[in-house]
């Protein structure tokens, strides 16, 4: 008994005032603490170094409020009609669909090679490294890179989005495939099935719903990227109109209208994908 108490005494960590410490007191804890302190201090100091010349606080606030009110409470179209607006939203959706559908098909084949339970270790590692590299570069950059060959426009936008979608989906798909019960693969192997038989009749039926919901999730992302690409890469669609309305015509009402249009589509997509997620990923919601 006494020895165990002595042991406990040796294990306990105490604060300077003698109280027993319940934090482990490791390096991570203190690093986090110090980071937060330093950031707080820097933020406070930075307020004293801003350039305040020409700032009329009262006017700035009222005018911003006015602009926002015009934008969101009086939306309207002046440079194009409803039909054209729908058509432009359709173009943006089309860019997203193209990139997602082609991306999903290519990613399916690559993910079969990247999944460790279906592939050779060297092949799976190689694909994973390449794909990780592609994912690390933002979509916009890929679009601009492809613009060198395809010229700024929808072709470059679709190619760049496709490239990034493939990389994203290969990771998601191959992880879904790796969660297939190894017993199923073993049983099919033991009947003398070839690799394609196992993939088509064992792996795909078990993962199909996962693959579908991941694809839809990516479509949601691709839609918002397509809006940005319309402006940044001249890919057309509603994003380009938004860019023209705000940067060219300074038409706040039109900006408001377009924002609402994009918002409605985004909400519809979000609702569908949440439903898919709840249906097929009941336990863990993967974002």
Partner 1 sequence: MPLLKVEGLGKLYDGETKVLRDVNFEVEAGEFLSIIGPSGAGKSTLLRCINRMVEISEGKVIFDDLDVGEMRKKELRKLRTNIGMIFQHYNLVPRLTVIENVLHGRFGYKSTLQGVFARFTEEEKERAFFLLDKLGIAEHAYKRCDQLSGGQQQRVGICRALIQEPKLILCDEPIASLDPNSSKVIMDYLKQISTEMGITCLVNLHQVDVAKEYADRIIGLKKGEIVFDGPSKLLYEDQIENIYGIETRELITV
Residues in contact with partner 1 by CB under 8 A are 181, 183-184, 186-194, 196-197, 200-202, 205-206, 208
In degrees and rounded to multiples of 5, residue 88 shows phi and psi of -70, -40
| Least separation in angstroms between CB 212 and partner 1 | 13
Closer residue to partner 1 in complex, CB, 189/253: 189
By C-beta, is 14 or 197 nearer to partner 1? 197
Nearest to 180 by CA among 156, 208, 160, 148: 208
Number of Cβ within a 10 Å radius of residue 200: 11
Measured from the CB of residue 189, what is the shortest distance to partner 1 in angstroms? 7
Tell me the closest approach of the beta carbon of residue 100 to partner 1, in angstroms: 24
Q: How far is the CB of 204 from partner 1 (least distance, A)?
A: 10
> Are 287 and 274 spatial neighbours (Cβ–Cβ below 8 Å)?
no
d(CA 277, CA 274): 5
Task: Using the minimum distance from each CB to partner 1, give the nearer residue, 83 or 183.
Answer: 183
Of 117 and 206, the one with the shorter C-beta distance to partner 1 is: 206
Instruction: Return the closest-CA partner of residue 220 out of 274, 144, 142, 145.
Output: 274
Cβ distance to partner 1 smaller for residue 82 or 208: 208
Both tokens assigned to 268: 């519809």
Q: Which two tokens stand for residue 226?
A: 């397509």
Residue 106 CB-density burial (10 A; 0-12 exposed, 13-18 middle, 19+ buried): middle
Nearer to partner 1, 53 or 191 (CB): 191
What CA–CA distance (Å, rounded) separates 123 from 115?
Answer: 9
Query: In this structure, what is the dihedral angle of CA atoms 261, 266, 269, 271, given to the nearest 10 degrees?
Result: -110
Give CA–CA dist 265/236, Å, rounded: 17
**Residue 150: CB minimum distance to partner 1, A:** 35
Beta bridge partners of 208: none
Q: Which lies closer to partner 1 via its Cβ, residue 37 or residue 208?
A: 208
CB 177 within 8 A of CB 117: yes
For the bound state, the minimum distance from the C-beta of residue 192 to partner 1, rounded and expressed in Å, comes to 2
Q: What is the nearest approach in angstroms of partner 1 to the Cβ of residue 219?
A: 24
Tokens of 91: 């173009």
């Amino acid at each position: 008994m006494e020895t165990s108490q002595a042991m406990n005494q040796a294990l306990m960590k105490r604060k300077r005032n003698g109280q027993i410490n319940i934090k482990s007191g490791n390096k991570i804890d203190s690093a986090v603490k110090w980071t937060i302190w330093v950031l707080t201090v820097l933020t406070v100091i930075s307020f004293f170094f801003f350039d305040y010349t020409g700032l009329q606080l009262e006017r700035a606030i009222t005018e911003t409020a006015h602009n926002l009110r015009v934008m969101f409470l009086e939306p309207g179209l002046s440079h194009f009609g409803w039909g054209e607006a729908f058509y432009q939203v359709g173009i943006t959706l089309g860019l997203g669909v193209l990139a997602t559908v082609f991306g999903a098909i290519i990613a399916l084949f690559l993910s079969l090679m990247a999944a460790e339970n279906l592939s050779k270790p060297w092949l799976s590692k190689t694909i994973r490294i390449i794909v990780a590299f592609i994912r690390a570069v933002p979509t916009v950059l890929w679009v601009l890179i492809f613009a060198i060959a395809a010229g700024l426009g929808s072709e470059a936008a679709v190619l760049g989005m496709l490239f990034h979608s493939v990389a994203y989906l290969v990771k998601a798909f191959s992880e879904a495939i790796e969660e297939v019960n190894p017993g199923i693969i073993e049983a099919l192997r033991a009947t003398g099935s070839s690799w394609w038989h196992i993939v088509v009749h064992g792996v795909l039926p078990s993962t199909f719903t996962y693959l579908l919901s991941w694809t839809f999730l990516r479509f949601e992302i691709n839609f918002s990227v397509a809006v940005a690409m319309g402006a940044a890469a001249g890919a057309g669609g509603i994003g380009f109109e938004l860019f023209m309305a705000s940067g060219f015509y300074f038409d706040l009402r039109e900006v408001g209208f377009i924002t609402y249009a994009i918002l409605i589509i985004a909400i519809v997509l979000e609702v569908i994908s949440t439903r898919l997620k709840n249906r097929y990923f009941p336990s863990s919601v993967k974002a």
